[in-house]
Amino acid sequence: MSLVNDMLRDLDARRAGGEERASLANLRAADESSSRQGTNKRTAFWLVPLVVLCVAVGLACAHYFTRGSEVVAPEVAPVVAVAPATPANQLLDVLPQNDGKRFVLQLLLDQSVGYQRIEENGAVRLLLRGTHLSTPDAESGRVQRDGASLSWRVEQKGDDVQVLFVGLAGDVSLIDRLERAGDRWQLWLEVPLVSEADAASSDADDLANIPASAPREEALPDWRARNDSAIDTAPPRAATVSLPAAAPPVPVTAPQIMIAPHRADPLTEARQALLNGDYSRAIGQLEALNTARPEDSETARWLARAYLAAGDQMRLLAWAPAQLQRFPNDSELRVLLARAQLQGGDSQTAVTTLQTNPPPLAKDPSYHALLAAAFQQTGQWRESATRYGMLLALRPREGAWQLGMAIALEQLGQATQAAGFYAQAQQNPGLDDNSRRFAAERARILGGQS
């Protein structure tokens, strides 16, 4: 249609003649505006679906690549708020003490802890659960006395603190006690030290007091007694008088020559078995001797030692009270019973035991030192301070007693006096380096408070 319009416009432009115009007279100009609108409509008709199709394809591709990116991308874990960790218990200090008769390891804690006790052959381990050792290095030491030794070690084991005791003649009799001390806690670990020198001295006294073997012959069988009598009173040839004359002489002394060799005193054998760590044998022998010799206080003391060394506190607690009624002045037997009571956690009964018929302080200071320490385990700080004051009047330069006095005074709120005793304790014998360091630290802190 636009071609006809072009031809007509060309005629007008050239000013063509009538003949040429007459040949094209039948042609009519087309409506170009309508044609353009139709073309536009046709273009829009095809263009709109194409645009929609392109948009659809674009959305599909976008969706495809978006899903792919979601699959490939690593999944981000949600952030979970971590609860603050519970602060571990702190083992502030390790204070070993040794007064020659017993070794005490005092552990200072910032709060109460739970611990597990594990006993093995010749060793005792304690695991303080969830406890952190404040010092970076392990604490250890060794106590020696007359050839016997006790080794101890305090170290970090993961989240726990391990306290290990090994030795002392192959066995450790450990008394453990956890108690509050003001705003802190104390774990007392006590190991009695067996003095072999004292045991040897007691052995010598026992052997001197043991009667000759003749009195023991009254327990022999009748036939043995008759044969012994015949040997002592009649010559060997007189024994052949009762034999037939035709029979050859029979040496009647032959059966006596085969007598078993002399055995050591049963108490000596029992003591040796105890020192060798054969507790069941020692207890069996000592129980038999105690039954046969009910008035022998030495046998009773050794049986109490055997019960305590074997860790058989229940039998000792059931047996010892009757023995103390028989021997009320036997201070060592009373101490052994009190130790069993302390080991069983009955501190108040142990204090009552030690307060009953105590020996003179000058005669047995260690007895009263144990009573002063037991007072602290029952919270009787004033009684403990009084007892330590009596001990220090006897031995003014005993470092272990000064340390006990300082602890008691600090609990009584007498900071100035406690600081003075802490300062004296670090300068006098009886304490190791850790105890001296603790005493110096407490003296500095309490001195600054005063």
Confidence check: pLDDT of 254 > 70: no
Q: Are residues 34 and 99 in the same domain?
A: no
In this predicted structure, what is the pLDDT of residue 240?
Answer: 45
Assigned domain for 353 exists:
no
In this predicted structure, what is the pLDDT of residue 389?
Answer: 96
pTM (two decimals): 0.46
Rg value, the chain, Cα: 51
Assigned domain for 251 exists:
no
Assigned domain for 167 exists:
yes
What CATH number has the domain bearing residue 132? 2.60.40.3470
* Tens-place pLDDT, residues 214-250: 333 444 444 444 444 444 444 444 444 444 555 555 5
Largest CA distance in the chain: 203
Confidence check: pLDDT of 347 > 90: yes
Which of 141, 160, 192 is the last residue before a domain boundary? Answer: 192
Which of 192, 214, 234 is the last residue before a domain boundary? Answer: 192
Assigned domain for 437 exists:
no
In this predicted structure, what is the pLDDT of residue 406?
Answer: 94
Q: Mean pLDDT lowest for which of 61-65, 89-93, 445-449?
A: 61-65
In this predicted structure, what is the pLDDT of residue 440?
Answer: 92
Question: Above pLDDT 90, what percent of the chain?
Answer: 36
The amino acid at 448: G
* Tens-place pLDDT, residues 385-414: 999 999 999 999 999 999 999 999 999 999
Q: What is the mean pLDDT of residues 318-336?
A: 95
Assigned domain for 396 exists:
no
What domain range includes position 129?
89-192
Position with higher pLDDT, 252 vs 369 = 369
Assigned domain for 146 exists:
yes
In this predicted structure, what is the pLDDT of residue 4?
Answer: 61
Helix (H), strand (E) at residue 317: helix 313-326
- 126 contacts: CB under 8 Å, gap ≥ 6: 115, 116, 117, 118, 162, 163, 164, 176, 189
Position with higher pLDDT, 44 vs 294 = 294
Which of 192, 209, 244 is the last residue before a domain boundary? Answer: 192
Under a CB-based contact definition with an 8 Å cutoff, are residues 303 and 293 in contact?
A: no
Number of structural domains the chain divides into: 2
Assigned domain for 420 exists:
no
Assigned domain for 201 exists:
no
Q: Are residues 94 and 24 in the same domain?
A: no
Q: Are strands 102-109 and 184-192 parallel, antiparallel or unpaired?
A: antiparallel
